[in-house]
Amino acid sequence: MNYNGYMGKILYVNLTNRSIHEEELDINLAESFIGDFGINAKLAYDLIKPGIETLSMGDPIIIGAGPLAGTLMPGASRCTAWSKWPVSSTIGPAGGPMNFGGNLKYAGYDHLVVTGKSNTPVYIKISDEDVEICDAGYFWGRDTYETTDKLWAKYGIRNSVISIGEAGENIVKISLALIDKQGSIGRFGLGALMGSKKLKAIITGGKKRVQIYNHTKFLQLIDEMLKEVRDWPLRDELLEKGYMGLNFDRYFYSIVIPNYPTDQNIDIETSRKKFGPNIYQQKIKKARLACPGCPTACRDIEQIREGEYVGQIAYHQSFTHNYPIKLKLKSAEEGANYLDLCERFGIDKMAVTQGMGFLNYLNEQGIIPKKELEGFEFGNWESTRNLLKKTVYKQGIGGLLADGREGFVKRVGTELVETLGHYIKGADCWINPRSSGFSPMQLDLALNPMGPISGKGGFTRMRHSGAFIASSSPGLFKKFARRIGIPEEKIFLILDSPFKINIGRHLRHSQDFFAICSSLGLCLRAHLSQFYYIDKLADLYSAVTGIEKDTDQLKKAGERAWNMLAALNVREGQSREDAKFPKIAFNNLKIGDKEFRMKDQFGIKYLTEEDIEQIKNDYYNESGWEQKRGIPTKDTLARLGLVDVAEDFKNRGIFDE
């Protein structure tokens, strides 16, 4: 069968018996679930056995590429990996940038499924349908950068590499993988999953190309989008300054403000002088870095210009330099080295930073005595670096951090972690809803079935007044809502709210749009996703694949994919009870002489737990889900064509007779 947009094959690699086989991609499956996110969700439902232990032999890794991946479409560089994650024991997508998805398609495949475990270190090589399981003994013990460089030296830099570092090898639960050294994937434990399988890396590439059904229409649509990007007033400023320069204050208040009370004042102006845009430009940034085909770029090539780490080269998004501020490190150079070590080790900088903060707080409260910190002093670079290395190798107190929330539970007990910790569904809450305003992105931290993954479903940002802001007015919201395909009658309901915008009803539609973009293989960063319009995406999908879809059909496909994600986790026992914010989030947060409380995004009201429950009611109502349990209803699943899932729920006793 001839495919357009799709390569038409799913590759299966079993590391236990070293078997390799491929299956044809069912075109009906592709039409229903679009690609990447959607098809991966269906594969996960079929392949992940309910209740399976994460990190076990039967826990697969599923990687997918959307129909726009590997084409000239700007931003079509995203892929997702799915599994049951070690950090949260939830199932869902881990998104990654650069061009692994495109190169997987150039090798002849839309999806890759890795099962089993190897007894010895291996890597998988995929090139023009030539697939090998290769010995990785030479690479084991090397960091992500060195592993990638050596694989490129062997096979060529036009290939794409997913690699793990020492954290993954040591099955540190908060480990991740890197794509081409330049972007992370799988912060809920992909590194540990690969390490448990003795899978050091996957390298892919080839000479095949994605067939386009209607080149003329496709190129016309791309030209229209590129013109809008070029005309965007902030594009040049973003290219010059990056996220750090464009949004330093917003990232400071959403990321830097700690989750725990402290007597130490957090001063934005002092932080700006040490780590802000000017210092970053002068001492750290070398050049901009973009994923293939991106006209805006969100990453930087960094090179430290002076001091102990002079000459160090790394690849980051500039806003990540807020994490060293959170750790109270003393200089931009120390911060850059901290981030570089996290990337090379293959450990999630969000989770390990949050873990160090919680450890420090428990020590301040007298719960964990100072002697157990093994010399760790908050704000001291040498001791921070030592603790990071101990975490990677699971040594001493580092073994506690390596397991995330579970490590703290083992040390101080569930009750204390539930009372004092800042975790949702077992994972660290990466932004602070008390300091940044409660928007759909904050709500998604709890209502995303996978857990508080960065930005999933929080499709809220838009262009206005020289900045990215979240749903800043009812008038702007209407434009945004129409862009992502929210029906007019639903817009009316969303705007009928004492908080100006009903973020519960809003979020459900943002999640659908997220699923659409992720299924197509598109970047989800605000600087590029703000140029996606659902009608144009429907036209692009039709032009690339030859499968006609209008906006309603595409919207329904996104809803179908999101409900499949929800169903996966409902089958694992997830319910409304799990979609809750940590208790500490409802307490006043005093930082030095400043105080923060959870309030709606417009500052109309301080929010209580009862307010959040009502917002959740609205979300479940808008989604067509049961309010009591927070799960998709039989009628909703049937409407979306997920009759097999509804039947499975019935057989498992999830639905009543």
Tokens of 173: 């639960």
Looking at the DSSP bridge assignments, the partners of residue 492 are none
Closest-CA residue to 169 (of 146, 153, 203): 146
Question: What's the per-residue H, E or C state across 309-364?
Answer: CCCCEEEECHHHHHHHHHCCCCCHHHHHHHHHHHHHHCECHHHHHHHHHHHHHHHH
Question: What's the per-residue H, E or C state across 233-255?
Answer: CCHHHHHHHHHHHHHHHHHHHHH
Close Cβ partners of 343 (under 8 Å, ≥ 6 residues apart): 144, 145, 178, 181, 184, 314, 315, 316, 349
Cα distance between residue 447 and residue 575, in whole Å = 10
* pLDDT, averaged across the chain: 92
Interval 305-331 mean pLDDT = 87
Which tens digit of pLDDT belongs to each residue from 107-120? 999 999 999 999 99
Report angle CA 491, 586, 427 to the nearest 5 degrees: 85
Cα distance between residue 544 and residue 99, in whole Å = 19
Interval 562-567 mean pLDDT = 98
Report pLDDT for 427. Answer: 95
Instruction: Report whether pLDDT(656) > 90.
Output: no
Instruction: Report whether pLDDT(458) > 60.
Output: no
DSSP 306: S
SS3 of residue 631 by DSSP = coil
Residue recorded with tokens 């809750």: 580
Interval 136-156 mean pLDDT = 98
Cα distance between residue 596 and residue 436, in whole Å = 9
Q: Dihedrals φ, ψ of 595, to 5°? A: -135, 135
Cα distance between residue 583 and residue 642, in whole Å = 36
Report pLDDT for 252. Answer: 82
Report pLDDT for 525. Answer: 84
Q: Model confidence at 472, in pLDDT bands (50, 70, 90)?
A: low
How many residues are present in the chain?
657
Choose between 213 and 256: higher pLDDT. 213
Instruction: Report whether pLDDT(468) > 50.
Output: no
For residues 544 and 5, is the Cβ–Cβ distance under 8 A? yes
Residue recorded with tokens 């917002």: 615
Cα distance between residue 126 and residue 258, in whole Å = 43
Cα distance between residue 433 and residue 268, in whole Å = 18
Interval 550-568 mean pLDDT = 98
How would you classify the pairing of strands 177-179 and 9-14?
unpaired
Which tens digit of pLDDT belongs to each residue from 252-263? 877 887 777 765
Tokens of 59: 């826990």
Cα distance between residue 432 and residue 552, in whole Å = 35
How big, in percent rounded to 5, are the helix, strand and coil portions of the chain? 45, 15, 40
Cα distance between residue 394 and residue 417, in whole Å = 20
User: Residue 191 to residues 198, 205, 343, 400, 654: CA-CA distances in angstroms?
Assistant: 10, 21, 12, 17, 33
Least confident of 289-298, 471-480, 508-517: 471-480
Report pLDDT for 263. Answer: 57
Cα distance between residue 211 and residue 33, in whole Å = 19
Cα distance between residue 7 and residue 106, in whole Å = 8
How would you classify the pairing of strands 79-84 and 19-24?
unpaired
Q: Model confidence at 151, in pLDDT bands (50, 70, 90)?
A: very high
Report pLDDT for 290. Answer: 87
Tokens of 609: 């737990």
User: Residue 637 to residues 46, 295, 525, 647: CA-CA distances in angstroms?
Assistant: 16, 39, 30, 10
Q: Model confidence at 81, in pLDDT bands (50, 70, 90)?
A: very high
User: Residue 655 to residues 48, 90, 623, 644, 645: CA-CA distances in angstroms?
Assistant: 20, 21, 17, 13, 11
Whether pTM exceeds 0.85? yes
Choose between 526 and 449: higher pLDDT. 449
Cα distance between residue 97 and residue 34, in whole Å = 19
Tokens of 439: 């928007």
SS3 of residue 174 by DSSP = coil
Percent of the chain's residues with pLDDT above 90:
72
Percent of the chain's residues with pLDDT above 70:
96
Cα distance between residue 262 and residue 1, in whole Å = 63
Least confident of 94-103, 263-272, 381-390, 401-410: 263-272
Neighbours of 242 (CB within 10 A): 25
Which tens digit of pLDDT belongs to each residue from 29-39? 999 999 999 99
Report pLDDT for 216. Answer: 98
Report pLDDT for 266. Answer: 74
Q: Dihedrals φ, ψ of 285, to 5°? A: -65, 135
Q: Model confidence at 308, in pLDDT bands (50, 70, 90)?
A: confident
Interval 557-573 mean pLDDT = 98
Report pLDDT for 462. Answer: 38
Q: Model confidence at 59, in pLDDT bands (50, 70, 90)?
A: very high
Instruction: Report whether pLDDT(559) > 50.
Output: yes
Report angle CA 270, 275, 280 to the nearest 5 degrees: 145
User: Residue 503 to residues 256, 444, 460, 584: CA-CA distances in angstroms?
Assistant: 24, 10, 10, 22
Choose between 538 and 312: higher pLDDT. 538
Instruction: Report whether pLDDT(311) > 70.
Output: yes
User: How far apart, in Å, do the first and last CA atoms of the chain sit?
Assistant: 42
Report pLDDT for 35. Answer: 97
Sheet holding 313-316, edge to edge: 285-289, 299-303, 313-316
Least confident of 90-94, 130-134, 261-265: 261-265
Choose between 28 and 308: higher pLDDT. 28
Cα distance between residue 586 and residue 331, in whole Å = 33
Report angle CA 64, 299, 404 to the nearest 5 degrees: 65
Tokens of 286: 């070398």
